[in-house]
Copies of this chain bind each other. A is one copy, B any other.
């Protein structure tokens, strides 16, 4: 009995050790965020010495802030209040179903909520998030449905002379069938990487859920890295732990577009895919929308489905001298070759709204057909998840 008691005491120590570690490393004996029955959310922070704590995030109405470019939208802020135990709290209005980001600002210092281990990296910033269930955000959660596989896979890009990493989703059943599948190439924005649509966009969950609901065709989704000087996401490539940057050299100068066939050929030689125009789609957000616009017209008989989500449809210098050299001509060729869907979505307050309006006007002038969706809000992930959720059911039908 003595030995058994000794070992049981040791076992209890595991729990104590964990408690000690959490006490040292940031665990707090409070719940934050707490989603209340009416879908309001209570945020809490134990910080007895703080003089001011603010919660900021996209669950609050946006505020206009001054920037060198004039007024610009920014996430809203709310003051939290301190109780006698030093716990600061704030309860939001009831919120609609959505995935929301937030941070705390403590005496002017912006940081994460130590009670919430769910974080997302957006470029160089880490923010917490939470999900309000019961509506469209149910698509962004893991449900009790069949799940596809998500693979970080490296491939050779001869055009860029490097091995590169892509995140590749194969639908439920892929591994145990002989079926061939259509492919969606899904591109990230500036400052993003091959992990963005998986981590922030919840793309693979959206696919699992739409396929399970019978709303989307089973398809492969390929999420490459659109920064041609990177082999993989910061920290996941041979450049090591660089500080993630918003503007990365050579991201919008035609080099990615000119070498896009490297990833397409890799996918078509290494996966069971239907390798024809009718079974290829390309879409992206912001810079990825810019890439999708150019790739789909530069290879004007390759994709039957194109999706531009808040696309950064801006003129850029062409490093190769050929990708951006005949935009109108290649668009005309793309139109004449025919396609099944050209989809554009943008938020009403997106700073790229006017640039997208100009492209729509150009398409109207040319007689180039497109489907258009306009949403509230600006250049934010919330809109990109919505656009993906609306776009995917239209593919390969």
The interface of chain A, by Cβ under 8 A from chain B, is 3-4, 6-22, 24-27, 31, 45-51, 56, 65, 67-69, 72, 74-75, 103, 106-112, 114, 117-119, 121-127, 130-131, 133, 141-144, 146-147, 149-154, 163, 165, 172, 175-176, 190-191, 232, 234-238, 240-241, 243-244, 246-247, 270, 286, 312, 314-316, 351-352, 354-355, 358, 379
Contact = CB atoms under 8 A, between A and B. Distances in A.
Contacts of A237: 142
Contact of A27 (B13, B124, B314, B351): B124
A69 B13 contact: yes
Contact of A25 (B3, B11, B122, B154): B122
Given A24-B56, A125-B25, A141-B240, A149 B152 contact: yes
B238 A314 contact: no
A21 B125 contact: yes
Contacts of A48: 108
A49 B13 contact: no
Contact of A379 (B9, B17, B22, B236): B17
A154 B74 CA distance: 39
B16 A67 contact: yes
Q: How many chain copies?
A: 2
A3 to B, nearest CB: 7
A355 B147 contact: no
B123 A22 contact: yes
Contact of A110 (B49, B114, B121, B175): B114
A152 B33 CA distance: 28
Contacts of A141: 240
B107 A50 contact: yes
Contacts of A150: 151-152
A111 B108 contact: no
24 contacts: A4-B315, A13-B351, A14-B190, A16-B68, A16-B69, A20-B65, A20-B72, A21-B122, A22-B125, A25-B103, A27-B124, A45-B109, A49-B108, A50-B107, A50-B109, A110-B114, A111-B114, A117-B121, A117-B125, A117-B234, A142-B240, A144-B238, A151-B152, A176-B270
Contacts of A69: 9, 12-13, 16
Given A107-B49, A108-B49, A355-B10, A22 B124 contact: yes
A126 B154 contact: no
A74 B110 contact: no
A142 to B, nearest CB: 6
A142 B106 contact: no
